[in-house]
Amino acid sequence: MSDRPQYLSKSSTQTLREGLAEYYAFNPHVTPPQTQPSEFAQILLAHDVGHVIYGCDTGMYDELKILPLFWWTSESTFQKFREMRKTNKPVIDVMYNDMTREKGVFWLYGEVIKVLPLLILELISIWFKTRNRQNRVPFLDFEPMLDRSLLDIRQEFDLLPLMK
């Protein structure tokens, strides 16, 4: 295993399935969706798929970046996210607990405060690039894309300009 996962590369030709397997191999601390009740395992899996499609790691910077990416470029808009949060609150709790399990709540908020100023400019740039977007990345219905290359998916949904 190399130091940097291939799925993080903007031009990765891995399939989404391969990238997802690599994501789990590089991130053993992530809660495996199959260990969770089915009512929200699919949302956890969709979130993990998003990490792979958008080329985001699990550091605080990318964790804070991925939600707006979902809202602005996928079928999981902010409004749909709010609806999901109401009916699937355990998903949010699991993700929150994953982040605070080892280091605690004060660490989490300290990291957010450290990273947010660095992220703001990138989020503003992404927002301008994604306004009025029509072609949205599937959120829960990603299975048809599993055997497609990440580069192909990123090109189809015009994600390359949003990646570093």
pLDDT in tens, 3-58: 899 999 999 999 999 999 999 999 998 889 998 888 778 888 999 999 999 999 99
Q: Quick check: is 56 in a domain?
A: yes
Q: What is the residue range of 28's domain?
A: 6-162
Q: Quick check: is 129 in a domain?
A: yes
The model's pTM: 0.87
Give the pLDDT score at 95: 64
* 149/151 Cα distance (integer angstroms): 5
Q: Quick check: is 73 in a domain?
A: yes
Closest C-alpha among 62, 56, 65, 74 to residue 140: 74
Q: Quick check: is 16 in a domain?
A: yes
The number of folded domains in the chain is 1
Q: Quick check: is 1 in a domain?
A: no
Q: Quick check: is 148 in a domain?
A: yes
* Residue pLDDT, tens place only, 47-73: 999 999 999 999 999 999 999 999 999
